[in-house]
Structure 1
């Protein structure tokens, strides 16, 4: 449960108030209505899809190829990669900006910050943690999540005296409400997205509970709890931040590519909050970075393995771990380039991540459900249709954002 929450709480949550803050209260109420079913049904369906493999230890690549065939499976693995790897770039940009802002505004760093060196040290440090024991890494993530969730709730409460109640009375045209809702949906999906850990989550419980339907009952229960916790934390934190931020601060956050907490921390008058807020933002992004890193490396390893198997001579054996080392190097290089380049986080969310996530989260599990006889008893036309409709609306939001830009 905490691995789900830890992966879901990250840059998306910290940037969601910026994306949703300009359309008044109604888009937020619409988001509150759709968020719960969207989080639970989609991630539950994806985990069931991973559990449906004939082999209990199958990874994401094996399940996709088994269910859709090799050719379609390879395209879906590419889409999986495009839904995960850009997120690592986003987290690197976000954590670099938070650190740089902290050095300049809170520590009053003298002189100009050497950004390439700063990003290099951050990337090497984060990936070095990953290169240790995977179990220790998961334990670290889980240990950080509970205090992080509690801290975000406390921040939401702390901001209540700063709420601008005129935001609730703000008159916004219906066209602006609908537009804001559609444009915010991609960031909303990103804010709750913890699909990268669903594959390893399914493998872990399938090893513990070999009987499929008992395993599905257990994982469904965990998904319900994690979805409820994510929903409560996210909606309260986002609402509190939006009510505390001015329109000028929201525009400043977009311009400086900074998350909500960094903008709030840079306000004068509260040294303790100004010092703690960037650290909290750093930890929030860090926990999500590791969750997505696990999924990304798994996908890249499988893509490299398939490619190397096709290219190498049949009598040549590949050294153990060769694809893993190459995967780590390429991911680290990509993260460093993105961090130094400081690309627009919200733009990447809208243009690349959201449509790829929608395909993986909304469409693949439903199609896989109806292609699997093992999962026949879990078919629910009403819920399945709702998931597909959510996916179509998210893609519509993506198209609207591209047309408007």
Structure 2
């Protein structure tokens, strides 16, 4: 694809990166076949190829309107198009760059600004989110539907193991997961303990930066990344063998720290090392001897939902399924595994109608064999699915914690 970026963008590192991505696109259209929003809306501008043209027009200085941004806003950032693309177009990176630049230059209506500001101030703040969630859970019986279903029920965590082992790994508590699904990391720690591995959370580590960065607030997102690197670095220097990600949304972000901070003289080397050490829990467990868990013979079928961040961004499609089957868990058949559930970080809040349509499709695809439960690998997907699921939804690691 030929490009002619305006000087303002051509002089910026992000602009040059966007230009290289644009030029790699060959207009083939394979991406439209796997794009959830194109499948739902049938509009070329709501598919990857059309959005690439819209971003190209913006970067070349042509008129950008609210309609242009509406089509970009409707993108889930699921990156299914990247998995399909024969030219390896880094669409997700192009979208982040374009959204960030557009946020600086095209003011949103007041109501949209307030909602987005609320999201980037509340979600990454672990204590504030926990307090508001608790208040919501207390008032849940009084709240009318459909809002009630969006407030998750209180969950309790199993106790963390007291033993300490020579092998140690780091884990990210994150911002939403500790209060919304507190048993995820606790279950992971217990499973790893049975394998002779100690999992440690660094107290100062918090939000991975994804919420801010994907909503166009790049500076604050990068600051969250630097904070996490500082929190993890002492343990890395002391020999932690990996940084285990139990939420694939965070995992997709942390694996990009090295790239996003590559021009930061103080953090470039550390960020690259953090990204090298970061790996999804499933990929880590697949390398271990799971015989010590003694899970063979488990009854009942479980449908696994592979989050977009795990299969498309992290390239880990099929890994968790291998771990679960290796541990003796029977998996139910599903369809359209490549399509998004509609959670997509803050998407379910910002695009509620389309998000619910995608959720309906996903629940139908996950329950064709009437599973007893649904498993997933990301806190956002878990909360979104369980809001309307006919069967319980849990993080997959909880099925190994028996």
Bucket of the pairwise TM-score, normalised by the shorter protein: under 0.3
Instruction: Output the TM-score relative to the length of structure 2.
Output: 0.26
User: TM-score when scaled to structure 1?
Assistant: 0.26
More helix by share: 1
Higher RCO structure, 1 or 2 (CA under 8 Å, sep 6+): 1
